[in-house]
Amino acid sequence: MPVVNNTDSGTLVADPAPLAQPGLRLPGQGGRPECGQAPACYHCGAACPTNPPRLEEKAFCCQGCLTVYELLAENGLGHFYDLGPQAGVRVNRPNSREQFAFLDEPAVRDRLVDYADDAICRVTFRIPAIHCIACVWLLENLFRLRPGISRSVVNFPRRECVVTFDPRAVRLSEVVALLASLGYEPDFNLAHLDSRRTDPAARRLWLRAGVAGFAFGNIMLLSIPHYTGLNAAEQPGLRMLFGALALALAVPVLVFSASDYWRAARVAWRRRVLNIELPIAVGLAALFGQSVYEIVSGRGSGYLDSMTGLVFFLLCGRIFQHKTYDHLAFDRDYRSFFPLSVTRLRYPVSAQSSEPGYETPKAGSRGPGEERVALAQLAVGDRLLIRHGELIPADARLVAGRALVDYSFVTGESEPVARQAGDHLYAGGRQMGGAIEVETVKPVSQSYLASLWSQEAFKQNRRDTLDNLTNRFSRRFTPTVAVIAVAAAVFWFWAGDGARAVRAFTAVLIVACPCALALAAPFALGSAQRLLARRGVFLKDPHVTEALARVNTVVFDKTGTLTTAGVTSATFEGEPLNDTERCLIAALARHSTHPYASALTASLGEAGGPGEVADYREEPGAGVAGRVAGHEVRLGSAAWLRDGGVAMAAPTAGPGVCVAVDGRFRGWFRLASPLRPDTETLLAGLAAGYELALLSGDSERERERFRGLFPASARLHFHQSPLNKLGFIHELQAAGRIVMMVGDGLNDAGALKQSDVGVAVAEQVGAFSPASDVILDADQVRSLPAVLRFARQVVRIVRLSFMLSSAYNLVGISIAASGLLSPLVCAILMPLSSVTVVGFACGATRRAARRVGLPAGSAPAGQTGVA
Amino acid sequence: MSAIYLLLPISLLVALAFLAAFIWAVRSGQYEDTCTPALRILTDDPPGNRPRKQLSPRSNATTSAHER
């Protein structure tokens, strides 16, 4: 289980704003098993063992939780438990400062800290375990627990905590160790180090909108005399003052607030393409030019109110669309998968000779010959110690120990493979079982796993921002407007009214400025993005909706996508086992760390107490054997049983564990990863409108099972390497299909990147998922058909909004072409069209979400609050 | 009407003050996390041991150790 196992626990989160935050779960929604009468841990709420450690009548599930409780109670932070009963995070392993000692090395430290001088150091930690109000409170009270920490501030949506401390009083590793001891171990990884997040764009957008809004409001006030028809000519002084002030207010809007539009228009002009910004820029220029002329020449008060209002509305649209889920990483690559540090074995002679810059570990040593080093400092030839559950960080050769490597995340192969000393191990595999010693043969960046990222698909920036709905519409719209403007000018010129010709020309450009048009898509797509996020579907940016609507082929990965990852169910086949036998098997299986053994233990449940196993033997890739309560028990492959002298009828096929008790074959456990609930309905729902395909890195043995689930036309491919998957998507695209890939592992990363829409399925939103366009909460895989239907509806709504805004433009242009456009008409028409288009776009999107039957807020991201 | 010559600049100055406040708020990062403050306000600090001076994330750099 991951470190965090309590994303629920009756936490009280009384805030309406972060509804779209993943991880805020309602009580009873989360994954904590309710376990009989066992008391719940006072700290974390997990079920306590039979004889739990107790303190002051309070039961705890483990010593770790008890320690945290003591620490909090001693420092007067007992209030933590009032904020959310059992709100703590389970501390499931002992932490020591030594474990994090590598963080104190200057090379690592410098990349982690945001700011450091002699007296002050500030670090931003990503802490995925933050899940409730009590977490925020506890983390912000860190300074009470450790002198030297001066301040800590939590950013809840991003799951971040900024800690400021005095490096003379407390080391970075001590801060991290303190966090880890409380259960809030920060998440460090390579990618996080390399890309420091800075998002000045959002700040600039707020500033621009603020300035535009300020100017808009004040210019409207200054225009009141004009609106009310007061004859300003009677007071030339006042008119001059009003005009000058309005101009002074409008200039920052034109120069600062609208600068993005100028830039985009210039780009479009240089690339000889039409985008929506070009007519906007022309409109703004026409508005401002006409206004300056009118004010300076004293003919009128100009259109500055319309101009600033237009910029203000446009920027509001941008802010609305700028909703980013920056706590979710859509661009992760393999480096995020790797830990920040590894255990290096120190061989005094070779180490010192092979590395010139080698530092003798001071605090870093964790016992004789072992040290934690940053992954970045890893060199070819280093000896590493990989423990159970740890990743192999680089391609390596197995030196000692018996390796059982789970490559499921890298290749999709669900069965772990056994390797012997001397064998080559690929990076990204996870060691199951005991500790092994390996020698790296390639640097991290050149390992097998990294090679996928050198593919073409990762180099191209696929989505051209110029190719979106709005710009496509604009390509028809802009030339039409230009023709009308010229035609109007020519007409009035021929009619002999030169002044009117100029006025009509600029008026058409002004009124055709596609403000409402530019707002339709941001508001419709932006609200679609929000509505989906509330249901556990997170889009990288609003434009993904457009791509979703065009999809006509859906490709699924098997492991972790259609089936649940990591969970294996075991069903026994053969003569039913009696209770004693179940106890014997469970007792033996508990001794092995092999995933099959864990699956057996899980399915046999708490059968009997812990039996003593004598004469325990384990052969990787074969099976285990031992004597339990006087009975000889063998679990494993058919060959393993035969080696032990068990007579067997026939070798069994497929993944399974054969069982023999006292030399007699008893049957076998068939192992399968269960399908996600509603997979049948999901596939049936999609089969009607989409071409389907399955790509699995796994072997053929489950073909039959999936053949029945998919429609007859669907292509099912097994034994697919990451490169095969990428190639398959490419092939489909070459045949003109618009492909959506749904996958979860690194082995799907290439396919996700190549596809038109890559959907990464994540058991825990916010935990690792490969680069993608959409991150989908695993519970929501079944709502994919509804999501696709919704995307099509939204695109239709955007088109209708375009029609609506074109209708307004038609009215405006016909007035303008006749040369009768007054600033007042302009000032009314522009906001009116914008507001109605925005209202329509938002309202219709909401209605569409209800109509297509998107499950209303059932996702973890859904409604939270005081029930 | 001549009062307008005086009142208009004054009203603009007031408006500018609000604009300046807005710009300060954006620049000090108050628009970056609109969620956590809403959570924070629901919890009370234990009396007495108040946290040290609250600083905006930007201005942290200017503080020194003797604030402790």
CATH of the domain at A371: 2.70.150.10
Q: What is the pLDDT of residue B56?
A: 42
Give the Cα-Cα-Cα angle A425, A190, A347 (nearest 5 degrees): 55
Nearest 5°: phi and psi at A636? 155, -155
Task: Give yes or no: residues A555 and A701 share one domain.
Answer: yes
DSSP state of A661: E
Residue A31 pLDDT > 50: no
Residue A424 pLDDT > 50: yes
HEC-encoded secondary structure of A566-587? CCCEEEEECCCCCHHHHHHHHH
Q: What is the pLDDT of residues A490-511, one digit of tens each?
A: 988 888 877 888 888 888 888 8
CA atoms within 13 A on the CB side of A52: 24
Q: What is the pLDDT of residue A276?
A: 82
Distances A690 to A550, A687, A730, A866 between C-alpha atoms, Å: 11, 5, 17, 41
Q: Dig out the tokens for A430 from the structure.
A: 């996870």
Q: What is the pLDDT of residue A308?
A: 92
Task: Give yes or no: residues A259 and A402 share one domain.
Answer: no
Burial of A108 (0-12, 13-18, 19+ CB in 10 A): buried
Q: What is the pLDDT of residue A428?
A: 80
Nearest 5°: phi and psi at A78? -60, -20
DSSP state of A148: T
Task: Give yes or no: residues A361 and A259 share one domain.
Answer: no
Give the Cα-Cα-Cα angle A793, A795, A800 (nearest 5 degrees): 95
Query: Of the candidates A14, A17, A206, which has its C-beta nearest B42's C-beta?
Result: A14
| ipTM > 0.90 (yes/no) | no
When pLDDT is averaged across residues A841-865 and rounded to a whole number, the result is 66
Query: Do residues A22 and A780 lie in contact, with contact meaning Cβ atoms separated by under 8 Å?
Result: no
Q: Which residue has better confidence, B12 or B4?
A: B12
Q: What does the alpha-carbon distance between residue A665 and residue A668 come to, in Å, rounded to a whole number? A: 9
Q: What is the pLDDT of residues A457-482, one digit of tens each?
A: 666 655 555 567 888 888 888 888 88
Q: Is residue A25 part of a domain?
A: no
Q: Dig out the tokens for A535 from the structure.
A: 């249901």
Task: Give yes or no: residues A511 and A611 share one domain.
Answer: no
Does the CA dihedral A817-A819-A825-A831 come out positive or negative?
Answer: positive
- A522 dihedral zone (left: phi>0; alpha: psi -120 to 50; beta): alpha
Range of the domain at A704: 537-565+677-790
Residue B44 pLDDT > 70: no
Q: Dig out the tokens for A536 from the structure.
A: 């556990």
Q: Which residue has better confidence, A468 or A121?
A: A121
Q: Is residue A24 part of a domain?
A: no
Task: Give yes or no: residues A690 and A547 share one domain.
Answer: yes
**DSSP codes joined into one string, A406-464:** E-HHHH---S-EEE-TT-EE-TT-EE-SS-EEEEE-S-GGGSHHHHGGGSGGGTS----
Residue A1 pLDDT > 50: no
Q: What is the pLDDT of residue B61?
A: 39
Task: Give yes or no: residues A685 and A560 share one domain.
Answer: yes
Contact of B57 with chain A, judged by CB distance below 8 Å, is answered with: yes
Task: Give yes or no: residues A798 and A836 share one domain.
Answer: yes
Q: Looking at the DSSP assignment, which residues form a beta bridge with residue A660?
A: A634, A665
Residue spans of alpha helices (H) in A716-855: 722-734, 749-754, 784-817, 823-851
Confidence label for A312 from pLDDT (cuts 50, 70 and 90): very high
Q: What is the dihedral of CA A493, A497, A498, A499, to 10 degrees?
A: -140
Q: What does the alpha-carbon distance between residue A758 and residue A463 come to, in Å, rounded to a whole number? A: 12
Q: Looking at the DSSP assignment, which residues form a beta bridge with residue A573?
A: A668
Q: How close does chain B come to A245, measured CA to CA in Å?
A: 9
Nearest 5°: phi and psi at A48? -85, 150
Q: Which residue has better confidence, A594 or A836?
A: A836
Contact of B15 with chain A, judged by CB distance below 8 Å, is answered with: yes
Counted residue by residue, chain A has a size of 867
Q: Dig out the tokens for A405 from the structure.
A: 């490597």
| A15-24, A332-341, A401-410, A494-503: range with highest mean pLDDT | A494-503
Say what the pTM is. Answer: 0.74
Q: What is the pLDDT of residues A656-681, one digit of tens each?
A: 788 888 888 888 787 777 788 788 88
Confidence label for A250 from pLDDT (cuts 50, 70 and 90): very high
Q: How close does chain A come to B13, measured CA to CA in Å?
A: 11
Domain ranges of chain B: 10-40
Residue A369 pLDDT > 60: yes
Residue B58 pLDDT > 50: no
Query: Of the candidates A154, A218, A238, which has its C-beta nearest B36's C-beta?
Result: A154
When pLDDT is averaged across residues A297-317 and rounded to a whole number, the result is 86
User: Are A166 and B68 inside 8 Å of each other by CB?
Assistant: yes
Q: Dig out the tokens for A480 from the structure.
A: 């039409």
User: Are A144 and B49 inside 8 Å of each other by CB?
Assistant: yes
Q: What does the alpha-carbon distance between residue A469 and residue A843 come to, in Å, rounded to a whole number? A: 19
Nearest 5°: phi and psi at A387? -95, 175
Q: State the amino acid at position B58 in one-letter form.
A: R
Nearest 5°: phi and psi at A691? -85, 135
Q: What is the pLDDT of residues A684-724, one digit of tens each?
A: 888 888 999 998 877 777 788 888 888 888 888 888 888 88
pLDDT mean across residues, chain B: 70
Helix axis angle, A823-851 to A515-533, nearest 10°: 30
Among the listed residues A375, A370, A499, the one whose alpha carbon sits nearest the alpha carbon of residue A428? A375
Confidence label for A361 from pLDDT (cuts 50, 70 and 90): very low
Q: What does the alpha-carbon distance between residue A401 and residue A419 come to, in Å, rounded to a whole number? A: 9
Q: Dig out the tokens for B29 from the structure.
A: 């990062």
Confidence label for A366 from pLDDT (cuts 50, 70 and 90): very low
Among the listed residues A172, A165, A146, the one whose alpha carbon sits nearest the alpha carbon of residue A75? A146
User: Are A157 and B33 inside 8 Å of each other by CB?
Assistant: yes
Q: Which residue of A has its CA nearest to B62?
A: A120
Task: Give yes or no: residues A560 and A703 share one domain.
Answer: yes
Q: Is residue A413 part of a domain?
A: yes
Q: Is residue A87 part of a domain?
A: no
Number of A/B CB contacts below 8 angstroms equals: 112
**Least-confidence region, from A14-28, A140-154, A595-609, B42-56:** A14-28
Task: Give yes or no: residues A699 and A783 share one domain.
Answer: yes
A153 contacts in B (CB within 8 Å)?
Answer: 36, 57
B67 contacts in A (CB within 8 Å)?
Answer: 150
User: Are A79 and B44 inside 8 Å of each other by CB?
Assistant: yes
Q: What is the pLDDT of residues A150-185, one digit of tens each?
A: 888 888 877 788 889 888 888 888 888 888 888 888
Contact of B8 with chain A, judged by CB distance below 8 Å, is answered with: yes
Task: Give yes or no: residues A216 and A246 share one domain.
Answer: yes
Confidence label for A327 from pLDDT (cuts 50, 70 and 90): low
B19 contacts in A (CB within 8 Å)?
Answer: 210-211, 214
Q: What is the pLDDT of residue A212?
A: 95
Contact of B12 with chain A, judged by CB distance below 8 Å, is answered with: yes
User: Are A203 and B27 inside 8 Å of each other by CB?
Assistant: yes
Task: Give yes or no: residues A554 and A698 share one domain.
Answer: yes
For an interface test with B, the pick among A11, A81, A207, A245 (most B C-beta atoms closer than 10 Å) comes out as A207
Q: Is residue A349 part of a domain?
A: yes
Q: What does the alpha-carbon distance between residue A529 and residue A842 come to, in Å, rounded to a whole number? A: 11
Q: Is residue A639 part of a domain?
A: yes
pLDDT mean across residues, chain A: 77
Contact of B60 with chain A, judged by CB distance below 8 Å, is answered with: yes
Confidence label for A217 from pLDDT (cuts 50, 70 and 90): very high
Query: Do residues A489 and A505 lie in contact, with contact meaning Cβ atoms separated by under 8 Å?
Result: yes
Q: What does the alpha-carbon distance between residue A496 and residue A601 come to, in Å, rounded to a whole number? A: 95
Q: What does the alpha-carbon distance between residue A31 and residue A4 come to, in Å, rounded to a whole number? A: 10
Q: Is residue A13 part of a domain?
A: no
For an interface test with B, the pick among A24, A133, A150, A162 (most B C-beta atoms closer than 10 Å) comes out as A150
Q: Is residue A387 part of a domain?
A: yes
Q: What is the pLDDT of residue A863?
A: 30
**Least-confidence region, from A287-301, A302-316, A591-605:** A591-605
Q: Dig out the tokens for A220 from the structure.
A: 């409207």
